[in-house]
Structure 1
Amino acid sequence: MRQVIFAAVPGLCALVWLYGSGPLSNLLWAASQAMACEALLVKLRGHPPGQALGDGSALLTALLLALALPPYSPWWLIALAVASAIGLGKQAYGGLGQNPFNPAMVGYALALVSFPQEMSRWPLPHTLDFATGLAQVFGQAGRPDGWSQATALDVLAHNDRLTLEELWQAPVFGLVGAAGSELVNFAFLAGGLWLLRQRLYTWHAPLGMLAALGLMSLLFWNGSGSDGNGSPLFHLFSGATMLGAFFIVTDPVSGAASPRGRLLFGAGVGVLVYVIRTWGGYPDGLAFAVLLMNLAAPLIEQCLARQGANR
């Protein structure tokens, strides 16, 4: 858990560079809520909270939520997401090692479905100072004019008339992906490669997700037309792609167990992410893709076991 948290630091630093103190305020509040919620629920279940708090899983869940939620999210939104992640996603099934779903994605998905307007308010990079951002967290001030705008994934998904060359003139687009998100994705890629080098997990799930997402975007990319849907590089370096590939689909509890199973699990997430981004109602869809594949993970392993037994 501590190595995964350490590997996420470059991505956190990139977010802080883009959005100021927002990601840090998310993290501090989410971490305190996660530790308190974990201690309370473990105690209510009749177990000593010390070991549960010491394994670092609650802190990691808080970190993933803090990275995924919009910077300067309202305090109550973070509290709701964290309580859902720890309570419904983890402790309701018996704690660490028993949860069939990724806890952070449970909390994120519930917040997204319940409060889509708040979850879509990503601030423009380099726009808010600490005092103004803190006022947003506690709802003490109205949102400044032009404070937020649609993300690149959202703009592309709802485009039906502009060519990609024309669309790329919008400030939300960068060199190959979303402006700002390119740097964040490169930072999470660097952290993920370090985790692979540490052999904390295998390459199967990350490669499966990235390869499937890249292949889907290549198959349905018809160049610069208004229905181009974005290039493979755009999809690989926009949204939460690298965070999902190296920090979420690699969850050893809610994912598949065997190497081939992990490869199929990651590929399923990649396909679903592209489907939801392109034809679904949500700009990214990583959380829903992961949760759907969490449901499919036992079936994947069962099918692979039967196939091995029939040989």
Structure 2
Amino acid sequence: MRPSIDSAHAYASRIPSGLKVRRTRAGVHLFDVATGLNILLDEVAVDPQEWDQAPRQVSIALTNSCDLACPYCYAPKLKARLDATRVVGWLREFDDNGCLGVGFGGGEPMLFPGFVSLCSAVASQTGLAVTFTTHGHRLTAGLCDELRGSVQFVRVSMDGVGATYERLRGRPFATLVDRLDDVRQVAPFGINFVVNAETVGDLDDAVEVAVKAGASEFLLLPEQPTMQRAGIDEVTSTRLREWVRDNHPPLRLTVSTAGADGLPVCLPLTGELPSEAYAHVDAQGVLKWSSYDSEGVAVDDDGLMAALQVLRERGGTA
């Protein structure tokens, strides 16, 4: 017999300060923002009325602006940018309702005015882990110094290496590699790698660069369809699956949910519904289940939790 909700409260009362507590259908989830440590007490049964209502993770596209023009980019090209004060308010809501972390993206979040101040505000006013995804070329040593202490993880996009990268992203690859030295001083970081017919042959070299630079994670992003492109083809998908099967790199290898078909995955919380795990807010302030969704619920003055309730009532992928 699993311990009851009374036991869940008893567990919570003995949890050391500094650990965030999230009560879910899977049990009591403990999270250390500083280290990224996750502990699931799955022997503790939590009454459904006590489940935290915010998703475990939320991503926020702060702006659609980007100074690169990658041909496979799925981000909207409509000019849009969020208000920093509203973003902090939304995240305080989600923090109060059990969310564990926020990932800022875009577009390119470095183009969002006051990005450093926003990260600092979220770090000081919430218990959320702060991460962001960037192409890396704007992360100067000075900017990295300002971000240190407010960010727990950085994701740097690196699709291909050398000439492949430069053809697709239009920036010097050597400059990106130099930037990784500064990123490493901010927080642990990972490499995001879009996999398509042009980049799949660079996987071995990309992992080597990532390991040498000190990355702790290598995230595979099979290219997704857009209005202009069909996404990853079956031949490339097969090559990717074979590469994953035959390689065991000395860093954490992960894959996006949207492109995980046919690849081995590990669900972090068994039984967790998609709507309990993740949500996304685009640069127009629309809450969606993922950044790939075309429709969602506009976040109005009632706040993010109210929009989440409407989204859940609509059903869909939740």
TM-score with structure 1 length normalisation?
Answer: 0.26
By percentage of residues, which structure has more strand?
A: 2
TM-score with structure 2 length normalisation?
Answer: 0.25
By percentage of residues, which structure has more helix?
A: 1
